[in-house]
Structure 1
């Protein structure tokens, strides 16, 4: 039954790529990097093959980045360690969506480092 249901979903690597790249909206709006992928995932997870897997990975990554950012703020007072962590977060938040968008377009396995699994 499960395999028949999966075949009803369409393959749409372009939408998967857009979902990954939509995380970069954070750099434009300040918060769109969580909202846009959430909306795409919620509306397309039943229609597009692999959207559920990619959407969950993106949301787990974004929520993890938010938590790491919140934790790093008090660490700024501790020898500026928070600045280092925030810098790493900024680099990861910019680079990983691009890397995983390329992987999604090629049908490869995606990977978001330091992601805490909230949505499984």
Structure 2
């Protein structure tokens, strides 16, 4: 009846396993909420593990890692700006934006859509 392969159900031709690992690459940034530097280590580990075998995961893990590096830089700048009070408002805004964007990216990656974070320095190509 239905000839759709469950391992490759996406219209984009990206396997379910690859979409799942790409989603994990984005969600692994949430490790930063419990482990120091976890927001960098999560995407880095997934990228290093899967970059040779899964091109979509390679792309999305690099994107997640670049975004988390950008967030780290923004948080450092905001921490310095606490001296002039504006950093007090910036720190939670950056944190909330990082969480929301990581979740949005994870949802898109799970759908097989390559997500590009806005305002991201792309240091790792």
| TM-score after normalising by structure 1 | 0.84
1:109 maps to 2:104? no
More deviation in 105-114 or 20-29? Answer: 105-114
TM alignment of 1:15-34, pairs within 5 A: 15-34=21-40
1:70 aligns to 2:76 (yes or no): yes
- Structure 1 stretches of 4+ with a deviation exceeding 6 A read none
Shift of 1:63: 0.7
Match of 1:37 in 2: 43
Q: Which runs of 5+ in 1 are unaligned?
A: 1-9
Q: How many residues align?
A: 110
Residue deviations 1:81-112 (CA, integer Å, cap 9, x gap): 11222122101221111101100111123021
**Equivalent residue for 1:61?**
67
User: Unmatched 5+ residue regions in structure 2?
Assistant: 1-13
